[in-house]
Amino acid sequence: MRPITPQRNKGVWALVRFVPKRFQHVDGRSVVRINTGIRVADDPAGIRARETVQALNSRLEAWWRGLDEGQPVAPVSATTARQYLDQVRGHHRPDIAFAANPIEDLARRVAAIMQGGGQTEQPKELAAVSGGATAKPKPKIALTTLLDEYEATQKVQLAQYSPDQLRRWRNGKSRAIANLKQVLGGDRYIDEISRQDALDFRDWWAGRIVAGEVKIDSANKEIGIISRMLHVLNRSRRLNMELVFKELCIEGGGYEQRAPYTIAFVQDKILGNGALDGLNDEARGVVYVCAETGMRPVEIVNLTKNTIRLDCDVPHILVKPEARVLKTDYSDRHFPLVGVALQVMRKNPEGFPSYFDKSPSLSATVNKFLKANKLRPTDRHSLYSLRHTFEDRLTAVEPPEKIQAYLMGHKYDRPKYGSPPSLEQLHGWLSKIAFKPPSSI
């Protein structure tokens, strides 16, 4: 270790040093600064200050060692601790911040403590004298309260979520925490979770993957959720923990894209006369709009009378973050209505209230119906596959890349200049690919 030397601190020589790693669990500060009370102007070469700093450093290290050996320091402020010492030792004097105390006063105080006996009290008194009592005890966070603690750090973002978005946000994290507790055999303070525990969690997921119970991406998602929560809390609560879940992703994963329906299948089967008669009116309407527009089901079910514009030259809908967040910034767009989508929205000018903020319920209802009626050619086909078919339909007529990206709600990989495509432009391209509507909707 480099020799301890005086450092300048606002015109005064001071002891300045990092808390050693072996003592970071007992002292939450990153850097300790203790002024000697010796002005740089009075000791330009720092000769007197060097001896003083070395004495201060010895006492500081003695305090660290005392805490490390299991003698806890009472959680009091440095000010109240010094007042207590002055009273019991007879050093009645106005309270002066320790950072400005001269070394002679420090030596007198330490000597008084040592002469007073009472071994169990000495660590507390030494902490008060050396300024260490200012360190706040680190909060103890258990897995049982981890989600509440993490949610408190995300309150700005979560304030924009709809109730269903918030429910789904919580559910994913609750599930990951429950799985971790299962692997660990019960509750645990997060600062007591070791790298070995984290590796055990990874191995547990690997076993489930090999057994065919889950996909690699599902395992990595939960490992990432735990890692993210601990990282954020470590930073925001200043826990100074080792981030034991870092770099634990299981290799070999990859996004499994849903299979698109063929254009002919959508026209002849899904939009065939009477094909969806077994669905309730609102669910059937959402399927028709999704088939025609390729919009995300969640975007359709959250339309309102404020975002459905029918009484204008180009009837259209707006995808806006009304009391909810959108999947991406690029999802915010206007979308002309053509074909069966226009017919459905004229029938539902205020949206689909039965499924508002309930897109998982809509998807479950529709996918169950499609499967029961042999409208899912493979397990990779679902309601969302209609969005992939829409992109294939656009590709077939070769619109400009900017038009296609805008209609899909995707990022356009060029600098964002000018205005978005007009409703008239978009309407022209959509008219080229419009489906023939069923005889009744």
Lowest mean pLDDT among 32-46, 91-105, 179-193, 398-412: 91-105
Q: According to the model, what pLDDT value does residue 122 have?
A: 45
Domain extents in the chain: 7-134, 143-236, 263-433
pLDDT digits (tens, 9 = 90+) for 24-74: 887 788 788 888 888 888 888 888 888 888 888 888 887 778 777 766 443
**% of the chain with per-residue pLDDT over 70:** 82
Does 74 or 12 have the greater pLDDT score? 12
Alpha carbon distances (Å) from 162 to 171, 280, 349: 14, 25, 22
Confidence of residue 180 (pLDDT cuts 50, 70, 90): very high
| pLDDT at res. 1 | 53
pLDDT at 390: 97
What integer is the mean pLDDT of 111-117?
48
| Model pLDDT, residue 271 | 97
Residue 106 has pLDDT above 70, yes or no: no
Instruction: Please determine, for residue 299, whether its predicted confidence score (pLDDT) is greater than 70.
Output: yes
Query: For 335-350, what is each residue's pLDDT tens digit?
Result: 999 999 999 999 999 9
pLDDT tens digits, 129-141: 444 444 556 788 9
Strand partners, 34: 15
Q: Which is more confident, 103 or 339? A: 339
Span 120-128, average pLDDT: 46
Query: What is the pLDDT at residue 253?
Result: 73
Q: What is the mean pLDDT of the chain?
A: 84
* Confidence band, pLDDT 50/70/90 cuts, at residue 416: low
Q: Is the pLDDT of residue 102 over 90?
A: no
pLDDT number for residue 114: 47
For residue range 254-264, what is the model confidence (pLDDT) as tens digits? 666 789 999 99
Q: Which residues pair with 336 in a beta bridge?
A: 316
Options 1.10.443.10, 3.30.9.10, 3.40.50.1000, 3.40.50.2300; CATH for 263-433 is 1.10.443.10
